[in-house]
Amino acid sequence: MPSAIPSALIAAQVQGALDEDVGGGDLTALLVPEGPAHAVLSTREDGILCGCAWFDRVFAQLDPNARIDWRARDGDRIAAGMVLCEVHGRARALLTGERTAINFLQTLSGTATRARRYADAVAHTRAQILDTRKTLPGLRLAQKYAVRCGGCLNHRIGLYDGVLIKENHIAAAGSIAQAIARAADIAAGRMVEIEVETLAELEEALAAGAPRILLDNFALEDLEAAVRYTAGRALLEASGGITLANAGRYAETGVDFLSVGEITKSLHALDLSLRLSLL
């Protein structure tokens, strides 16, 4: 299992989500008598479960005495019709928290599920799938966590923990070699990667000692040529035009990584249902 997200961050995200949904109070929940209730969460489709801590926190903030009994945990494969957990607490609290809790769980499970499908698509190769910074605003760490639950790896978390040199940076620095040298000074001990768009630029990057190179929108035959030419002198990452349908072929070129923004930016939220009964 990947390392957990700090509980303080989860609490803040949940509180923000509840604030925008509940506002001054849940009017509809007042239709229900205040008393004990029981709810069952199930999934209507197959996938990878992710987001249990966010789900738990929603109900904990609304009813400190609520109890959730999980039958699956983050990273588990789940099947349509499966009961994922049972929730016990005050009826109004369960109804108030239902949508917020499911929103977190279905979004993160959708991310994890997509990541798992990509991981499975390249499992016959040595390549690994990376995410990108194309995440939902405010949910960067949560989605990065979901990607790991799905069996893929994280690229940079943000702009602070690594350097990715792109064409604008190269132009400003004056050359590929100067950009790499400058980045090495600025980001000592952190990841430094440079994006190239042609085999000629790849040669320049290797000559400058680039430890990691992103091959942007390379054709398959050019990726294969890049792998042969590099011969292990740097880590190679392919990006651009990679889909679930062709990821396996891209991985077969011999690159080390494939980066795929779609995992986090174009997700399909898992279809979940919470059914409540009064006690």
Instruction: Point out the least confidently predicted range of 4-8, 16-20, 165-169, 198-202.
Output: 4-8
Mean per-residue pLDDT, 22-36: 92
> Is 160 in the same domain as 217?
yes
Q: List, as one string, the DSSP characters of 189-204.
A: TSEEEEEESSHHHHHH
Q: What is the dihedral of CA 103, 106, 110, 111, to 10 degrees?
A: 50
User: Which residue range forms the structural domain that includes residue 176?
Assistant: 153-259
Q: Give, as one character, the DSSP assignment of residue 117.
A: H
Question: What does the pLDDT read at residue 171?
Answer: 94
The question of whether 166 is a catalytic residue gets the answer yes
Residue 124 within any structural domain of the chain: no
> Is 162 in the same domain as 63?
no
Residue 140 within any structural domain of the chain: no
CATH value at residue 198: 3.20.20.70
With beta carbons less than 8 A apart as the criterion, state whether 209 and 233 touch: no
Residue 147 within any structural domain of the chain: no
- Over its C-alpha atoms, the chain yields an Rg (Å, rounded) of 23
- Tens of pLDDT, residues 50-60: 999 999 999 99
- Tens of pLDDT, residues 167-196: 999 999 999 999 999 999 998 889 999 999
Question: What does the pLDDT read at residue 4?
Answer: 77
Residue 2 within any structural domain of the chain: no
Cα four-point dihedral sign 224, 127, 159, 217: positive
Q: What is the dihedral of CA 154, 158, 161, 167, to 10 degrees?
A: 100
Residue 145 within any structural domain of the chain: no
Measure the CA–CA gap between 244 and 5, rounded to whole angstroms: 28
- Rounded to two decimals, what is the model's pTM? 0.94
- Tens of pLDDT, residues 231-279: 999 999 999 999 999 999 999 999 999 999 999 999 899 999 999 999 7
Mean per-residue pLDDT, 5-24: 95
> Is 28 in the same domain as 59?
yes
- Tens of pLDDT, residues 111-139: 999 999 999 999 999 999 999 999 999 99
3-state helix, strand, coil in the chain (%, to 5): 45, 20, 35
Q: Which of 99, 133, 233, 265 is catalytic?
A: 99
The question of whether 134 is a catalytic residue gets the answer yes
Q: Which of 133, 166, 182, 265 is catalytic?
A: 166
Q: Give, as one character, the DSSP assignment of residue 5.
A: P
> Is 43 in the same domain as 106?
yes
The question of whether 90 is a catalytic residue gets the answer no
Q: Which of 56, 98, 131, 216 is catalytic?
A: 216
Cα 37 to its chain centre, rounded Å, is: 33
CATH value at residue 104: 3.90.1170.20
> Is 195 in the same domain as 227?
yes
CA nearest 94: which of 36, 21, 53, 43?
Answer: 36
For the record, the structure tokens of 223 come out as: 């990726």
Average pLDDT of the chain? Answer: 96
> Is 179 in the same domain as 273?
no
153 has a pLDDT exceeding 70:
yes
> Is 104 in the same domain as 66?
yes
The question of whether 195 is a catalytic residue gets the answer yes
- Tens of pLDDT, residues 59-76: 999 999 999 999 999 999
> Is 247 in the same domain as 173?
yes
> Is 88 in the same domain as 13?
yes
The total domain count for the chain is 2
Mean per-residue pLDDT, 154-178: 95
Residue 42 within any structural domain of the chain: yes
36 has a pLDDT exceeding 70:
yes
Question: What does the pLDDT read at residue 2?
Answer: 66
